[in-house]
Amino acid sequence: MADAAANEVRLCAVADARERPFRVVAAGRALVVWMAADGGPRVFADRCPHREARLSAGYVADGRLVCPFHLWVFDESGRAVGPDGAARPTCAVRRFDAHVRDGAVWIDAARIE
Ligand code: FES
């Protein structure tokens, strides 16, 4: 039986992701780690689907991640949200499952390849 923890990659300290969107490269993939309103981590590809800006250069407002360039907003699931608060069904950033252990954010390496 494989040890699931053996495949995990530590992305950053929870405190780092809480302070601001945190850029990390894992398994060759650029990721942004941030903490959602529910206190859980969110890990997205660090590339805005609009014009590929780094979302890690943005900020969190009202529990959503804001791209710094044209201020597109992404909810906790990675869906773009319009000014009216409605999710745009055809626009999203890729999201990866992650969890917290020992004060850090971890991800299964197999999920980011
Ligand atoms: S590049 Fe992100 S909103 Fe334009």
pLDDT of 3-62, one tens digit each? 667 789 999 999 999 999 999 999 899 999 999 999 999 999 999 999 999 999 999 999
Judge if the beta carbon of residue 57 lies within 6 A of ligand 1. Answer: no
Task: Please state, as a whole number, how many other Cβ atoms lie within 10 Å of the Cβ of residue 110.
Answer: 11
**Could you tell me the distance, in angstroms and rounded to a whole number, from the CA of residue 12 to the centre of ligand 1?**
25
Q: 81: which residues sit within 8 A by CB, 6+ positions away? A: 64, 73, 74, 75, 87, 88
Judge if the beta carbon of residue 12 lies within 6 A of ligand 1. Answer: no
- Mean pLDDT computed over 76-105: 92
Strands (E), 62-103: 64-66, 73-74, 79-81, 87-92, 95-96, 99-101
Q: State the pLDDT at residue 39.
A: 93
CATH superfamily of 4-111: Rieske [2Fe-2S] iron-sulphur domain (2.102.10.10)
**Could you tell me the distance, in angstroms and rounded to a whole number, from the CA of residue 49 to the centre of ligand 1?**
7
pLDDT of 62-86, one tens digit each? 999 999 999 999 999 999 998 888 8
Domain limits of the chain?
Answer: 4-111
Q: State the pLDDT at residue 4.
A: 60
Q: State the pLDDT at residue 53.
A: 97
Task: For residue 1, name the pLDDT band (cuts at 50, 70, 90).
Answer: very low
